[in-house]
């Protein structure tokens, strides 16, 4: 089950677990929930998975990916 707490924990781990979680999701609603609840991204956050989401078929996922890419420090 996806929760804000799980997303925060995976985000702060900084080892790519969040990208793995996004890759495992089968529906756009779950991916959107994850992207909407990322919040502040730490400096060491690995956002490489966000680049792949720019090619997603749903426009909402692409928009949320762009918003989160803008939060990256690199």
| pTM score of the predicted model | 0.90
Per residue in 54-74, pLDDT tens?
999 999 999 999 999 999 977
Distance CA 61, CA 43 (A): 23
| Spatial contact of 28 and 58, defined as CB atoms under 8 Å apart | yes
Please check the confidence at residue 15 and state whether its pLDDT lies above 80: no
């Amino acid at each position: 089950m996806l929760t804000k707490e799980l997303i925060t924990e995976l985000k702060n781990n900084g080892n790519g677990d969040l990208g793995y979680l996004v890759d495992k999701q089968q529906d756009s609603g779950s991916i959107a929930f994850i992207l909407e609840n990322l919040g502040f991204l730490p400096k060491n956050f690995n956002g490489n998975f966000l680049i792949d989401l720019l090619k997603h078929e749903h426009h909402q996922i692409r928009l949320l990916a762009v918003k989160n890419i803008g939060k990256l420090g690199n």
